[in-house]
Structure 1
Amino acid sequence: MKLFDLTGKTAVVTGGNGGIGLGMALGLAAAGASIAVVGRNAEKSRAAAATIEEQAGAKAIAVTADVSKEEDVERAVAEIGERFGRIDALFNNAGINIRKPPQDLSLDEWNQVMDANVTSAFLTSKAVYPWMKRQGGGKIVNTGSMTSVFGSSFAAAYATSKGAIVQLTRSLALAWAADHIQVNAILPGWFDTEMTLAARQQIPGLHERVLARIAHGRWARPDDMAGAAVFLASPASDYVTGIALPVDGGYLATL
């Protein structure tokens, strides 16, 4: 369907060199978009771009940047705009987690999580805004979490940051609606990634508790995110803004 066709569009995916980010990037590329993978690990980003080109047949580039730093963000967005001539969709997916009880969390660790997860989304959204306004519109999609809804005793900073992501999403959606820029959030459920592997190793019984609650009966794979990403990047979602869309296999719906 043309409503979901991204041919001729450019999508920027921060943290797109692995896990959920790469799953979204591959889906966007399969729908026709050119992809800019933005990450701190240059080698990993180049490998991801090569994978996207090989598997989806789309143009993909790797841009090295720390998206929690304003100067890096401005440089990266300028480079992407120069390479592709336009920026149609931004996926703010970069993020980190530090798992500690809140009483053991230092202020520096708290700030690291906030900068990587929330400040980065603000900076990158702000940087692409002029491009999207000039083009007559665009799409911004922020990656939240189940902890956008639930608290977390072992990841207070992460949960707080993901709650903030939903409020940032709503605020940007309202601010930029007149510019025909739709801003939405995706709330991934429990995905089988490097980040959640570390959580399962650190938190006894986490895997079993999570699996028991997922209606689909399995942890999600990164490619389970592709459909939602394409929908929110495409003309099919032109009248959808300010939402937080769970992609969780029924986790939120389960008592």
Structure 2
Amino acid sequence: MRRGETVTTDNLSGKTALITGGAKGIGRACCLRLAAAGANVAINYLTSEKAAQQTARLVEEQGAKATVLQADVSQADQVEQMVDAVESSLGPVDLLVNNAGIFDYVDHRETTQQQWQRTMDFNLNSAYLVTWAVKEGMAERGFGRIVNIASIAGLRARPHSIAYAVSKAGMIALTKSLAEAIAGDNIRVNAIAPGLIETDIIANVDPAAKQKLIDATPMRRLGQPEEIAEVAFFLLSEQSSFMTGQTIVASGGRVLLP
């Protein structure tokens, strides 16, 4: 790839995408959307090997190459090994989606330092580690696109999940600062702040509590992983060629920004 080369509006053919937490939910939807646009896809997972292999098969059914990589992205040595494996199998990473993360619903009076650190490690430090592992290569090639999956929790008070909210607010701050720092290398960094999305986490919520959350959403429904994947594709493609450092809220109207 020549320095400064861009991609066409709708085509990611020949690009290598790495999606952390890519086995299920939003991560899987991103894998499939990018594969549909022609990208080869590296699917990271921590424990969901069967789901990751299924995602890989779905990617390959679309004619794209796929590789599956088990790694704890909160650990620097595992991240380095993962990125090396991606480069060996699919080539240098052009597109990165930092999606891996956890959600803990813990009252502040019961939050321990260990729980706090675990949330920061998986939700925020992981994005730092993976991004830093690929951004120098992106800069050398003069091309890179990064999307961080944040949350509306990073934009509003969450008294029953403070660590989660702080980690996602940190993801948004990381997006802004890094975007300005590396824009000159033709690397764009943006974030998505999803609202309530129909994933495994929501599936385990008490039905009455789930309905209450839906009622608090102006569009009166849950979002679908595929809807977030479309936003990710937009931010990774040249449809958003003059956008960097931005956070797009996709919450069905639950969070309204000026």
Question: What interval of TM-score do these two structures reach, taking the shorter chain for normalisation?
Answer: over 0.9
Task: Tell me the residue number matched to 1:48.
Answer: 55
Amino acid at match of 2:190: N
Between the two proteins, what is the percent identity of the paired residues? 36
Q: Deviations over 1:73-96 (max 9, x none)?
A: 001011101212221110000000
* Pairing partner for 2:156 from 124, 145, 150: 150
Task: Tell me the residue number matched to 1:36.
Answer: 42
Task: Tell me the residue number matched to 1:245.
Answer: 248
Amino acid at match of 2:165: A
Unmatched 5+ residue regions in structure 2? 1-6
Shift of 1:208: 2.3
Runs of 4+ more than 4 Å apart: none
Shift of 1:18: 0.3
Contact 1:184 1:232 in 2 (8 A): yes
Contact 1:33 1:58 in 2 (8 A): yes
* Pairing partner for 2:73 from 67, 77, 85: 67
Q: How many residues align?
A: 250
* Pairing partner for 2:82 from 76, 81, 98: 76
Amino acid at match of 2:81: R
Q: Deviations over 1:188-237 (max 9, x none)?
A: 11101112233x23xx8432232123233211111111211111111222
Task: Tell me the residue number matched to 1:216.
Answer: 219
1:235 equivalent in alignment to 2:238? yes
Q: Deviations over 1:52-88 (max 9, x none)?
A: 222x332111011000000000010111012122211
Contact 2:21 2:101 in 1 (8 A): yes
* Pairing partner for 1:11 from 8, 12, 17: 17
* Pairing partner for 2:185 from 175, 179, 183: 179
* Secondary structure in structure 1 of the residue aligned to 2:146: strand
Contact 2:202 2:210 in 1 (8 A): no
Structure with the larger helix share = 1
Contact 2:67 2:89 in 1 (8 A): no
1:115 equivalent in alignment to 2:121? yes
Amino acid at match of 2:239: A
Unmatched 5+ residue regions in structure 1? none
Amino acid at match of 1:50: R
Contact 1:191 1:220 in 2 (8 A): yes
CA RMSD between the two structures: 1.7
Shift of 1:51: 2.2
Give the Cα separation in 2 of the matches to 1:94 and 1:16: 8
Task: Tell me the residue number matched to 1:137.
Answer: 143
* Secondary structure in structure 2 of the residue aligned to 1:26: helix
* Secondary structure in structure 2 of the residue aligned to 1:80: helix
Give the Cα separation in 2 of the matches to 1:5 and 1:209: 40
Task: Tell me the residue number matched to 1:162.
Answer: 168
